[in-house]
Amino acid sequence: MPKPVSTPGTPADTLADTLPSTCPAAALRSVRRARPMEPVEALHPHLFVPTPQRPVRAKQHRLSARTRVIPHSHSWAQIAISLDGVLHLSAPQGTLIAPPSKAVWIPPGLVHAVAMVEEADLVSIYVLQDDPAQGPVLPDLPSCGVACNPQDWARCRVLEVSPLMRELITALPKQSDDQPAPDAATLQREHHLSALLLEELRRASEVHLGVNMPQDKRLRMLCEAVVADPTQHESLADWAADTGASPRTVARLFQQQLGCSFTTWRQQVVLAHGLSLAARGLPIQQIAAELEYSPSAFSAMVHRTVGMPPARFFGQQAGSAAHRVGSGAVSRPTRE
C-alpha cells in the first residue's frame, strides 16, 4: 500500500502564516502579534488510499483556526476544498488561495502543506491516477471528450467549483478504511458519483489565485515584505528602495522570476489578504478600506483581476449582513 510521505521544512512560505488573526485596522500591521500556525500531521491519508476498486476516496476534517497541515506528499492526486473558509496551499512554486467556491488540484507526488486561517471543514478527494497525462478520469470509463492538456494536470491549479461539483463532493462517502467496509450498493453509488465528479473537474475553469515566490534573494526579501503588509508602500520605487535595488532592476526581476509585473503580483497578495478578512466577516467596503482602496477602485481591481465583482468573489451577497458596513469600520487613506 502506498504511504504518504511527511517532509520536514516548508515547500514555500505559507501566506497564511503572515496573515493577521484579528481585525480591524491595526491588525493588518500586527503580523508579529498574530498567533502562530499550529502544525499538525497529515490527516490520516493512509486510511483513505485510493485503489483500482475504489479509485476516488473522500475524507472530511474540521480544522481549528490557524491550523497548518505539515508538508507531505502521496502517490495519488488530490482535490482540496474548504467548505466554509479560505484554504492556503503551499507548494514549491508558491502559495495558492481558494475560498469555498474554489478547489485546488494537487498532482501526485507533489510536496504540499495546507493552512486554514479560520476554523473550517476541509474536504480532500484522493484520486488514483495510473497515467497523470490523462487528467482526472476513472480507469474503466472513457472521458466524455473534454480536452485535456497534460501540463495542466501536472501542476497545482485553483479551479472553479460548480454547484453540481460541490454537491457531488458532499455526497461522496467519507468512511475510513478502519471502519466497516461499505456494501455493494454503496460502492456502486460511490463509483457513479466519482465518475461524474471527475468529469465536472475536467470541465472546471481555472482561476489564477495564488502568490508565487521568487528564488532571487533580493526579490524574495521584497516579496516577503509585501506579503507581510501590502499597504506599507504604494509605488514600486518605494519598495525597491528598501532592497537597495533600482526600480528598473526589480521590475526586470519580476518578469524574469515570476513572469508578471510587480503590480499584477501585488494584486494577488491584496486578494489573499482580502479573502482572509472576508472569511472573518468584514464587509467589502471595510476590506477595501483595510487595504487602502476606495470602494470603487477596489471593485475595479477585483473585477479586472478575477473577472467577477467583489461580492461574488468574496462570497458576500448584496444586502446581506456581511455585505453592509459594520459599526467597526475604520476610515483610512485610500487609493483611487
Residues 261-300 have pLDDT tens digits of 999 999 989 988 888 788 777 899 999 999 999 999 999 9
- Which has more pLDDT, 30 or 142? 142
pLDDT of residue 95: 84
pLDDT value of position 8: 41
156 and 189, same domain (yes or no): yes
Are 191 and 236 part of one and the same domain? no
Determine contact, residues 22/282, Cβ cutoff 8 Å. Answer: no
Over residues 17-35, the mean pLDDT reads: 41
Bridge partners, 212 (sequence order): 94
Quick one: 199 and 288 in the same domain? no
Higher pLDDT, 176 or 95: 176
Confidence of residue 26 (pLDDT cuts 50, 70, 90): very low
Share of the chain above pLDDT 90, in %: 43
Shared domain check, 253 and 134? no
| 168 within a domain of the structure (yes/no) | yes
**94 and 184 share one domain:** yes
Residue 280 belongs to what domain range? 210-323
Residue 329 lies in a domain: no
> Given this model, what pLDDT does residue 122 score?
95
pLDDT digits (tens, 9 = 90+) for 124-173: 999 998 766 666 766 665 555 555 677 788 889 999 999 999 999 999 99
Average per-residue pLDDT for the chain: 80
Same domain, 185 and 133: yes
The reported pTM is 0.72
Residue 35 pLDDT exceeds 80: no
CATH number where 219 lies: 1.10.10.60
Mean pLDDT throughout 217-228?
88
Peptide bond into 142 cis (omega under 30): no
Closest Cα to residue 128, out of 45, 73, 52, 48?
52
Q: How many domains does the chain have?
A: 2
The CATH number of the domain where 173 resides is what?
2.60.120.280
Domain end point (choices 171, 186, 203):
203
Count of CB atoms situated within 10 Å of the CB of 51: 12
| pLDDT confidence bin for 79, thresholds 50/70/90 | very high
Which one has a higher pLDDT value, 53 or 29? 53
Cα separation of 68 and 17, whole Å?
9
pLDDT per position as a tens digit, 193-221 = 999 999 999 999 888 788 888 888 889 88
Is 27 inside a domain boundary?
Answer: no
Residue 90 above 70 pLDDT?
Answer: yes
Rounded mean pLDDT of 16-35?
41
Cα–Cα distance for residue pair 207/158, rounded to 1 Å: 5
How many whole angstroms separate alpha carbon 32 and alpha carbon 11?
22
> Which among 170, 203, 236 is the end of a domain?
203
